[in-house]
Amino acid sequence: MSKEAVMQFMDKMNSDEVFAEKIVAGQDKDERLAIAKTAGFDFTAEEFNEMAENGEIKVDRTLSYLAKTYESRGIRLFVRSGTGLFE
């Protein structure tokens, strides 16, 4: 398992709004994973989801931030609770 890659990915999601928007804009988990891999983050959906379920990463906080950012621009972003990104 590449926990380090997932942690680095989440750091990037939390610090780079443009990158986070690209990930969230992916049509499905495969596209979002492809975007992450292109950016140099090598992990599987299962690895990511396991870490999210175990509480090792805080996905909801990142997605809530993005939802607020979009909303401030007049764009409504619906975010599911939980791992969401790669389900």
Query: What pLDDT digit, counting tens, does each position of 32-56 carry?
Result: 899 999 999 999 999 988 888 888 8
User: What's the whole-model pTM score?
Assistant: 0.74
**Mean pLDDT along residues 52-67:** 73
Do 86 and 48 contact (CB within 8 A), yes or no?
Answer: yes
d(CA 82, CA 87): 9
CA pair distance 58, 55, nearest whole angstrom: 7
67-75: long-range contacts, CB 8 A cutoff, minimum separation 24: 69/17
CB 67 within 8 A of CB 22: no
Alpha carbon distance, N-terminus to C-terminus of the chain: 17
